[in-house]
């Protein structure tokens, strides 16, 4: 028995003690969200299937806001069948209507269970490159960093303004 115990101690010494997993990084979580979003290749509000795919990246509050906006959009469509409904087009998760070709996390500022991440966005199309930084707010829920809001920070004339939460809760 002593030999077994010594062998186990030796293995622990050589391989190192088991350590807890590293704290998830909010910047990596923000970048992972946008990559998952891009793969879905949609604009406007997500449909039910798309929202299900994105839910592991989103806070409960943001999921609820997206669901409520979908409900309000459906009411608008019912009441105004000949009009184009709001939030059916455009990238809701960046300042640029067409969305970003790439997104990468920059500076991360943490305060307790909240993190603000500068997201460096770029859109390349037909030899033209547009670059800007939006700010993602992530919250710590369910043991992970989850997207809770987007602050649109594009500085061109037709950039989205304000925040995603404001857009979703505003009048449709």
On whether residue 169 sits in a domain, the answer given is no
Instruction: Assign residue 126 the CATH number of its domain.
Output: 3.10.450.50
Its domain, for residue 112, covers 24-158
What are the pLDDT digits (tens) for 18-37?
444 556 699 999 999 999 99
On whether residue 172 sits in a domain, the answer given is no
On whether residue 18 sits in a domain, the answer given is no
Residues in contact with 65: Cβ distance below 8 Å, sequence separation at least 6, in sequence order:
165, 168, 169
On whether residue 141 sits in a domain, the answer given is yes
Q: In angstroms, what CA-CA distances link 159 with 37, 92, 98, 153?
A: 19, 11, 10, 8
pTM for the model stands at 0.84
What are the pLDDT digits (tens) for 99-126?
999 999 999 999 999 999 999 999 999 9
On whether residue 9 sits in a domain, the answer given is no
Number of domains forming the structure of the chain: 1
On whether residue 70 sits in a domain, the answer given is yes
What are the pLDDT digits (tens) for 119-168?
999 999 999 999 999 999 999 998 999 999 999 999 999 999 999 999 99
On whether residue 5 sits in a domain, the answer given is no
State whether the Cα torsion 36-38-39-41 is positive or negative: positive
On whether residue 8 sits in a domain, the answer given is no
State whether the Cα torsion 92-96-99-105 is positive or negative: negative
* Predicted pLDDT at 24: 67
* Predicted pLDDT at 22: 59
CB 87 within 8 A of CB 44: yes
């Amino acid at each position: 028995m002593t030999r077994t115990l010594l062998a186990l101690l030796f293995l622990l010494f050589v391989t190192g003690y088991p350590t807890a997993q590293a704290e998830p990084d909010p910047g990596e979580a923000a970048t992972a969200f946008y990559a998952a979003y891009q793969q879905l290749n949609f604009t406007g509000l997500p449909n039910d299937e798309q929202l299900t795919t994105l839910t592991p990246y989103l806070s409960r509050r943001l999921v609820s806001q997206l669901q409520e906006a979908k409900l309000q959009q459906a009411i608008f469509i019912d009441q105004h069948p000949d009009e184009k409904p709001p939030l059916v087009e455009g990238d809701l998760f960046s300042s640029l209507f067409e969305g970003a070709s790439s997104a990468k996390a920059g500076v991360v500022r943490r305060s307790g269970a909240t993190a603000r991440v500068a997201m460096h966005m770029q859109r390349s199309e037909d030899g033209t490159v547009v670059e800007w930084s939006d700010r993602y707010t992530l919250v710590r829920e369910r043991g992970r960093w989850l997207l809770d809001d987007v602050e649109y920070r594009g500085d061109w004339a037709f950039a989205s303004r304000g925040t995603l939460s404001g857009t979703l809760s505003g009048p449709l």
